[in-house]
Structure 1
Amino acid sequence: MSSIVALAGSPSTESRTVALLRHIAGSLDGHDVHVVPVRALPADALLGADTADPAISAVVRQVTDADGLIVASPVYKAAYSGVLKTFLDLLPANALAGKAVLPVLTGAAPVHALAVDYALRPVLAALGARHVVQGLFLIDKQIERTPDGVVLAPDVQASVDAAVDGLTSALPGVLTVRS
């Protein structure tokens, strides 16, 4: 069983991005998935780059020990969120070495899809990711929040499934066949 950390980089408690990330995490049967809302980390420690803080160090350790990572954020000003950037800056060099990583962004318009490859992917590669799989971008309106999570249109769900398959097939020593 592979361990996967799913970083939720939205500053909002009512985020479609976080709901989508939880939906993706729920589809990863057979893997140990831990969803981490970065906004829930202690703000003083996060902003002060206090990696000795127990909550911060625990999440950094989870990331460095994981086999794979999902990094999700809404797009703000043509890039991922500041709260996510603040956390990624706390990771040690090569923290993602040996890991497969799935970048997931949400935004208001298709033009924001460029942020996957031009904003988030370079940071993940700089942190040493072994394989950054094809990223996923969804327009906010494609994500319908419900009391139980999200509902996605069939074509959107197919894109999510393909992204998940890309991640799971890139995990070290994992062969995944989706039926």
Structure 2
Amino acid sequence: MTTVTIIAGGHKIDSRLTGILQFTQEFLEQEKVAVHVIQVHQLPSDALITADFMNQGIIDARQKVEQSDGVIVLSPVFQASYSGIIKTFLDLLPQKSLRSKTVLPLMLGGSYAHLLVMDYALKPVLANLGATNILTGAYVTDNQITKQEDQTYLLDTDSETRITNQLEQLLGGMQ
């Protein structure tokens, strides 16, 4: 079975980033893809900060990435960059851990002013980790996701279409 790991670099569960995560996970599961989600902020913080490669939580998360056919890096944009939480986790991956994997960046920002963060900040790091099949990715703004009263999230049509197109490319790239 095809496996995709989503590395989510938000700082809390209750955020619009979760809307992208939920949409992505549901899409992949409908396509019969096994999905692993790593909520980086839920990993042991002391192990992340001190780069404790021997921590069991870190080992388990790294194994999920290594055993996946595809990897999605999901991050909010802070100060014109991807989150420090994502960077802290990526620093713990072996240097060529993304080799032979299709990698999809998905980002959430406050405006389109930082749209190029994927190309100029995140993709070079992914390439350094051995990724050669890095998809274009999708950038969504906060105003394109609405939190519902039932605590679920609704993406606007444009965002759903762009993310769906990228997920279809992800599936095609893993075949």
TM-score norm. by structure 2 comes to 0.94
| Most deviating of 149-158 and 131-140 | 149-158
Displacement of 1:130 in angstroms is: 3.0
In 1, the alpha carbon distance for the partners of 2:99 and 2:123 equals 14
How many residues align? The count is 172
Displacement of 1:114 in angstroms is: 0.8
Instruction: Tell me, yes or no, if structure 1 residue 112 matches structure 2 residue 121.
Output: no
Give the residue type in structure 2 aligned to 1:18.
T
In 1, the alpha carbon distance for the partners of 2:22 and 2:54 equals 28
Per the alignment, residue 24 of structure 2 pairs with: 24
Q: Which string of whole-angstrom CA distances, capped at 9 and with x for unpartnered residues, describes residues 126-177 of structure 1?
A: 1001300111100011011233632122222111111111111111xx2xxx
Contact 2:19 2:155 in 1 (8 A): no
Displacement of 1:39 in angstroms is: 0.2
Contact 1:20 1:149 in 2 (8 A): no
Contact 1:102 1:163 in 2 (8 A): yes
In 1, the alpha carbon distance for the partners of 2:84 and 2:157 equals 31
Instruction: Tell me, yes or no, if structure 1 residue 153 matches structure 2 residue 147.
Output: no
Gapped regions of structure 2 (runs ≥ 5): none
**RMSD over aligned Cα, in angstroms?**
1.1
Gapped regions of structure 1 (runs ≥ 5): 175-179
TM alignment of 1:95-134, pairs within 5 A: 95-134=97-136
**Aligned mate of 1:167, from 149, 154, 170:** 170
Per the alignment, residue 9 of structure 2 pairs with: 9
Q: Which string of whole-angstrom CA distances, capped at 9 and with x for unpartnered residues, describes residues 65-118 of structure 1?
A: 110000001001111001110000000110101000000111011011110111
TM-score norm. by structure 1 comes to 0.92
Q: Which string of whole-angstrom CA distances, capped at 9 and with x for unpartnered residues, describes residues 24-73 of structure 1?
A: 11101211011110000000011110011001100001101110000001
Contact 1:23 1:149 in 2 (8 A): no
Contact 2:104 2:137 in 1 (8 A): yes
Contact 2:19 2:154 in 1 (8 A): no
Per the alignment, residue 33 of structure 1 pairs with: 35
